[in-house]
Structure 1
Amino acid sequence: MAPKAWTTKEVEAALRGQCEGRHRVAPGLYLRIEAPKPGEGGRASWSFRYQINGRSRIMGLGAVGDVTLAAARRKAEEALLLVRGGADPLTLREQRAREAAAAALAARMPSFREAAQQHIESQQAGWRNEKHAAQWAATLETYAYPHFGDVPVDRIDTDHVRAALNPIWTTKPETASRVRGRIEAVLDSAKVRGWRSGENPARWKGHLALLLPKKAKVQAVEHHAALDWRDLPAFWGALAARGGAAALALRFAILTAARSGEVLGATWAEIDTVQRLWTIPAARMKAGREHRVPLSDAALAVLAEARAAGDGEGDARVFAGRGSGGGLSSMAITMMLRKMKRPGTKKPWTDAAGETVTAHGFRSTFRDWAGEATHHPREVIEQALAHGLKDKAEAAYARGDLLTKRATLMAEWATYCTRPAGAVLPMHKAAAQ
């Protein structure tokens, strides 16, 4: 026989007596009475407890002072009918709350910040990776929101956009250009959603191009401190003597002339040791095109060391951080380079200007060596660096990736890197064209 439902008088008696705990007062309906806290009275609330799909759930129905027993019982009965019909009342309530919030947002004009957040959410699935979405949010948070983040999106004008861009247009031209493009995209998205009309105040052609200097006129060349190629064999000896994933990753980056981000994101699924190839998918390449990297004997030896230290298969990172299967941080390589000292000194390895060398700088080291110490054609060297040809006519006819020639180039590079410091190697002529 089911327990008798409580009356209002029984509920009031339990409250007066401060009967702590949870009491079943009707089917699925519970009264919870909490002990009074110092300086406060006791608390009492209604809840509906139920099971659905084998899962126990509790849905709050409000405080006793705000909801009468009759109202709580009615709410519990309505929820019980939903459960018997196979619906989850708590999920339905959460869904209705979201719909109400969306309707409230649609009923008023969103701010630029809110419009930007909606645009990012709608586009995120099509972007290369989570880092790209984070960069979008971070640049707008840093450079746009302080100026007009809380301004209704339909009121953003040219003065707002210029206020955000002017402080960084000449000092951080690359960043400023990206910020402008992202503001333009958010405002275009807002127009499609019916929040704006008219021209986009962040557009470049025929608008901001008349108010701001071209990026090419103010573009500062980003400097990555690079080791002189003549010092590389000595550096390699010091690097090869170091243990750890950071040293392995840098050795592989040097041998492949790849960007450090491409190396740190490499997975075993991209590596084919039989074909001696590392195939980097387009989504991880700066130019957005798949890039094949021929692997020298020295590069394969580094991979063998990495495989022995990690998972060595599938989607696992080739160069994992210590104690985890996750990726190694680029800061780990940077910190290692700062700690490395030239043999017999307390000074770090530096470039000609005295700046500590960087991981990215070894691409310049490779480029200088290939251009000064070999006879390999320029297009082979540039292809090894995954650079596109600047001459559009030349690029239109360059359909292949010169893999065979690049394999020869990278083998020579590996021989040079790993030779004993001070040894002399003859310059080789490139293979017949």
Structure 2
Amino acid sequence: MVGLSALQVKNAKPGRHSDGHGLYLVVREGGSRSWVLRVQANGKRQDFGIGSAKSVSLATARAKAWEMRTRLEAGEEVRPKPPTPNAVATIPSFAEATRACHTAIKSGWRNKQHRETWLTSLEIHVFPHFGESPVDQVTSLMVRDALHPIWLKIPETARRILQRIGTVLDFAHIQGWCEHEAALRSVRKGLPRQPPDDNHFAAMPYEQLPAFAAKLAKPPHSAGRDALLFVILNASRCGEVRHATWPEFDLEKALWTIPAARMKMRKAHVVPLAPASMEILKRRWPLRHSDTGYAFSSHGKRPLADMTLLKLVRTHSGQKFTTHGFRSTFTDWAAETTDHPKEVVDKALAHQLADRVEAAYRRTDFLERRRQLMLDWAEFVGKSLERRQ
């Protein structure tokens, strides 16, 4: 069963909406939203309130539901009790908190390799440094010292590990093990700047993307800024957008059909367009020079140069990120923060499956599932845009 998405939680209509494993989002007629865990306990069905959806996120609700189910299965009482005088809370070690966090969130990852490497990377590179330390005593300096040996040696892995440490510390905070939320922004400032990787496209960390997109969307608009934002919103290859012509777009159905001749794998690719992408096209349409010309061009006769978009990326980010790297940013976001299956993400990227047998059986294009994926992605990218508006 596929659970709820963040967008579904936000737009759910009155009623009871299942996320799976007994967790429900209850939306009342007045608009209030709350989380409820329904389980069989002591021979009868019982509901346990987890909190308001306004203050408890989907990820947090899942973590709390997992903790409640685990305690109930062990025969523990989960309903609140008056605090015992002089009681001292037991704080787990960072390693224990990491394994608890991994158990709570791994069910949302369809990629088996990601489930395994997520925990293994911390066991290998972090636990030897502060795995036995109480999780509430982990500091930015400890994190910096743990990452320093691998920061330049395996830069991409090191960045992922930093994100995962932050996830564990956030989990520890919602569990009540850490008094304050994780503050790891200073860690990068204590590490050397990573050089460009000759074998990979330099990708912007997804946490930085909403603020970057807000800069691009700020007037005055231009063909280059619109094209780059369109690249980001659709996780497209730069050339696919630069050479896009108006006949490829179905503005009524919000679809973009890229011909096989322009695709890397020489197979036509249909892209479901989120409202944010449609707004860009509707803004470009009155500026067109012909109904068959390039959608992102100053004069409609020649496509934008690749360097035009790359210059925008580096001017507005101040770093040597690449345009193609936004596809990696999208992949990291989907794997780290959503429940979308890897096969749907791969299809959105128009990736070819390495296993030909698997590819032969998987002939669906997941169009509607990709539409939801791109809606969630556009919502994430547009967070800063909403605040600006």
If the length of structure 1 is used for normalisation, what is the TM-score?
0.42
Does 1 or 2 have the higher relative contact order (CA < 8 Å, sep 6+)?
Answer: 2
If the length of structure 2 is used for normalisation, what is the TM-score?
0.47
